[in-house]
Amino acid sequence: MEAYLDNGATTKTLESVKDVIVKVLCEDYGNPSSMHQKGVDAEKYIIEAKNIIADSLKADPKEIVFTSGGTESNNMALIGAAMAYKRSGNHIITTRIEHPSIHNPLSFLEETGFRISYLPVDKYGKVEIDALLNEICEETILVSIMYVNNEIGSVQDIAQIAKLIKGKNPKVIFHVDGIQAYGKYRIFPKKMGIDLLSISGHKIHGPKGIGALYIRDKVKMKPILFGGGQQKGMRSGTENVPGIAGLGVAVKEIYMDHELKIKKLYGLKKIFIQGVKEIEDIIINGITDNEELTDTAPHIISVSFGGIRSEVLLHTLEENNIYVSAGSACASNHPQLSGTLKAIGIKKELLDSTIRFSFSINTTLEEIEYTLSTLKEVIPVLRRYSRH
């Protein structure tokens, strides 16, 4: 049997998404900037996808800009907004548990003269609100906080955070990395006080290499790519029409019967947590006392296994056709230890003993049960070897 539990890294593309991509690649392959019929046919896919995404956000299609994925969306949001508002101030606030596609562009901005504040989080990965309010000042131009943490699945109260930010300084632009949240939650930026929202296609059964950035009307942005002026100059370059069409279909399908899908995910998460608790010397990270688990993301579980290196366990599971991540996939190829796990204060010896299990709408009960039985079988063996 095979169990793919690395959906936080990427999801399997839907058949309907694959079909529209092939159709665009092989039939409606025109350049959307061309004035002839082939170009017009290609442009229709862009218009339709914008409408679908905008509808899911209760936004205006003009507020959607297509990118190459979550990393570019985050870079565009941070660098574009910082450059647009630098005359108003040079202070930016984020958290210690953000994705590298947030921290690294902020490091770049810091080198150019911006001042960056990093907020602490509690043991569950929730932002320390008092620290946030203390940091906001007249010089603050931008706050960036992720909706769902990609490693431990902690969820921020984005609407409440936005209200507090705007109450302290109404001019602050609020960016939300929604890459692990979009498709799992109903996100309405205008209602929630979000100015910029990043999304990614391959986290919701769409293709890789495509994403979008919601930019609230009247929010100023400087482009970070220059060229032919596509997308009203906000993101030059010939649009990835197959990817955009695929993203539109993925968004449409992920929000069909949405409540049932999320209920299923929470059900699987509950079963997994109950099962993994039967293993000795484990810690489930970011989980509160909420029995229904609804204050955490429905699809991410982070477990630290005492006495076993995460890389060893990952490859042992792989030998049994079970696929997971050591922490987050984006950091799996790098030796540094997780900033998120450090920020929530887990024991030093567990930093390199943590596995992320992540589910999708395709995940089955059989995969969960197989993974749990395999863990119960291999953990004692690995611990015996690790003690020698």
CA separation for the pair 182, 257 (Å, rounded): 15
330 as an active site residue: the answer is yes
Residue-wise pLDDT tens digits, 281-304: 999 999 988 888 999 999 999 999
Residue carrying structure tokens 């089955």: 364
Contacts with 175 (C-beta within 8 Å, 6 or more apart), sequence order: 77, 78, 81, 142, 143, 144, 145, 194, 195, 196, 197, 198
Contact yes or no for 131/163 (Cβ under 8 A): no
Catalytic residue among 330, 337, 351, 382: 330
pLDDT of residue 332: 47
- With vertex at residue 188, the alpha carbon angle to CA 203 and CA 90, rounded to the nearest 5 degrees, is 85
Q: What is the mean pLDDT of the chain?
A: 96
Measured over the CA atoms of residue 318, residue 321, residue 322 and residue 323, the dihedral's sign is positive
pLDDT of residue 191: 98
pLDDT of residue 388: 44
CA separation for the pair 201, 215 (Å, rounded): 17
**Which 3 state secondary structure label does DSSP give 357?**
strand
From the DSSP assignment, how many helices (H) and strands (E) are in the chain?
Answer: 12, 12
Q: Give the type of residue at 238.
A: T
- Least confident stretch, 84-98, 134-148, 372-386: 372-386
> Mean pLDDT, to the nearest integer, of 36-43?
98
Q: Give the type of residue at 134.
A: N
> Mean pLDDT, to the nearest integer, of 233-251?
97
CA separation for the pair 111, 374 (Å, rounded): 47
**Which 3 state secondary structure label does DSSP give 6?**
strand
Contact yes or no for 281/307 (Cβ under 8 A): yes
Residue-wise pLDDT tens digits, 318-353: 999 999 999 645 544 554 678 899 999 999 989 999
- Least confident stretch, 53-67, 140-154, 300-314, 338-352: 338-352
Distances (CA, A) of 131 to 122, 127, 165, 244: 11, 8, 12, 39
Contact yes or no for 189/197 (Cβ under 8 A): yes
CA separation for the pair 374, 134 (Å, rounded): 47
Residue-wise pLDDT tens digits, 261-277: 999 999 999 999 999 99
In whole angstroms, how large is the CA radius of gyration of the chain? Answer: 21
What is the pLDDT confidence band of residue 387, given thresholds at 50, 70 and 90?
low
Tokens read off for 238: 């010939």
- Sorted by where each starts, the structural domains of the chain and their CATH numbers stand as 3-11+257-386 (3.90.1150.10), 15-254 (3.40.640.10)
CA separation for the pair 155, 293 (Å, rounded): 11
Q: Count Cα atoms within 13 angstroms, Cβ side, for 233.
A: 3
Contacts with 87 (C-beta within 8 Å, 6 or more apart), sequence order: none
Q: How many residues does the chain have?
A: 388
Residue-wise pLDDT tens digits, 1-21: 999 999 999 999 999 999 999
pTM across the whole model: 0.96
Distances (CA, A) of 257 to 69, 133, 264, 292, 332: 25, 38, 11, 20, 33
CA separation for the pair 264, 361 (Å, rounded): 8
Please check the confidence at residue 141 and state whether its pLDDT lies above 70: yes
pLDDT of residue 289: 84
Contact yes or no for 143/82 (Cβ under 8 A): no
Distances (CA, A) of 307 to 265, 304, 357: 29, 9, 19
pLDDT of residue 340: 95
pLDDT of residue 288: 87
Looking at residue 349, what DSSP letter applies?
G
